[in-house]
Structure 1
């Protein structure tokens, strides 16, 4: 289980290290995402980039992990409150805006899990898992940006779209129900990582300097990392949780 947790943390940390670098590479663009009423947009873009890199390093070297992951979760919560909610209120029907907000909720849940804070493990797991149900449902609507992640060389791409959405929902149901220990989370992690590699690696190999592709790849890596972290939760966690719910 420790190996699964370590793999999940490394995937998660790698994603935020890349996000941090992107904040420097594309600082002027990132500054446009800062709420208009906040001063010093460029400063905040760089500050968040530094915070991401420090959090990633802290998680990898396993020093001050509780503090850094809690601060990271707080930062992601601020993104949801200050950026995603205003965007969604203006574009309520925009499926891609919903997807980004849900992805940030999921990786926020992972940060709570990585913190190791006992009273945050249950809310962290739910914050990780529940948004994935809504993300999986986008596979049934064949949202273009979701269906595109099924490799084009797969036969019957739309059928695979349904299958992937259904499998994710079933695995998430297993995670939420606390049954079969970490097996559903492990299967989910393998599925997410496999499709991330099949989809993103060829595209990045064709254009290594595509910033948007790197962002999408790292978001998928962070979510897959979260699934490995959930899979690595010790058996005693599930035993205590099931006893508490009886």
Structure 2
């Protein structure tokens, strides 16, 4: 299990570092990181410092001995950004429009993925004091997926335009993926075939990364300060979190006697 998990962990860290690099390139905070206030979001010193902090914490996730606390701190950072910047911004602008909460939900899911990464790593001799938050990670990711799935039905006329042109039946794919997101999210939350739900969610998000997000990013790399590229890396990060959750769920489902035998070997 360790090799696949490490691959997804490294890819997750790479996705976060890539978002930080995008911010430095365009000298602006991406809406998923800091959407408000406008002066802060476009402040070069703040962008450079904030992006370096984000990239540094994510880079430590790649290092075996530092990965566990780094993943927890990254999750806490995302939660702080959600509380300090995203939620106030939403209530000051469009609190009643569910679609405008997309970036808030995304950073909530990124926090969840970070905690999921921490859940699969040995604690070692260093404790952050926030280890108790780790089990909540899967619920953060799953809740976001349920809401995004519901939005496939609420805003179907918009979502269907995101389906690749080569696929027939755009509305069909819109509803099907909406059902899949809701089912996967509820499976994780209610612990109904959690491992399978996480695996299928990871596969679906990875397919979206390849078929939907990468082509859009390549077609418009500089549109909205490279927002399409950031969306691609968000999808990759969510996919990595789902695959790691599936691995964690598999490990937790192994009978105790089997675990003892494995240790003896």
User: Normalised by the size of structure 2, how large is the TM-score?
Assistant: 0.79
What is the aligned counterpart of 1:120 among 111, 133, 146?
Answer: 133
Report the more deviating stretch, 166-175 or 205-214. Answer: 205-214
Alignment-derived partner of residue 92 in structure 1: 95
| Correspondence for 2:127 | none
Cα deviations across residues 162-203 of structure 1 (Å, max 9, x unaligned)? 100101111222222223351210111001110221012222
Tell me if 1:22 matches 2:22: yes
Is the alpha carbon distance of 1:222 and 1:149 closer, same or farther for their aligned partners in structure 2, counting shifts above 3 Å? Answer: farther
C-alpha distance in 2, partners of 1:46/1:17?
Answer: 13
Which runs of no fewer than 5 residues in structure 1 stay unpaired?
241-246
Counterpart for residue 8 of structure 2: 8
Q: Which has the higher contact order (CA 8 A, sep 6+)?
A: 1
Summarize the Cα distance change of 1:29–1:127 in structure 2 as closer, same or farther, 3 Å threshold: closer
8 Å CA contact 1:18, 1:218 repeated in 2: yes
Partner of 1:180: 193
Q: CA deviation at 1:120?
A: 3.2
Corresponding residue of 1:142: 155
Q: Partner residue of 1:213?
A: 228
Which residue pairs with 1:48 in the alignment?
Answer: 50
**Structure-1 separation of matches of 2:28 and 2:113:** 28
Q: Which secondary structure does the structure 1 equivalent of 2:154 belong to?
A: coil
Matching residue of 1:71? 73
The structure 1 residue matched to 2:184, chosen from 171, 180, 187, is 171
| Structure 2 residues without counterparts, runs of 5 or longer | 124-130, 256-265
The answer to whether 1:105 aligns with 2:105 is no
Q: Are the counterparts in 2 of residues 136 and 168 from structure 1 also a CA contact under 8 Å? A: yes
Offset at 1:158?
Answer: 1.0
TM-score by length of 1: 0.85
* RMSD of aligned residue pairs (Cα, Å): 2.8
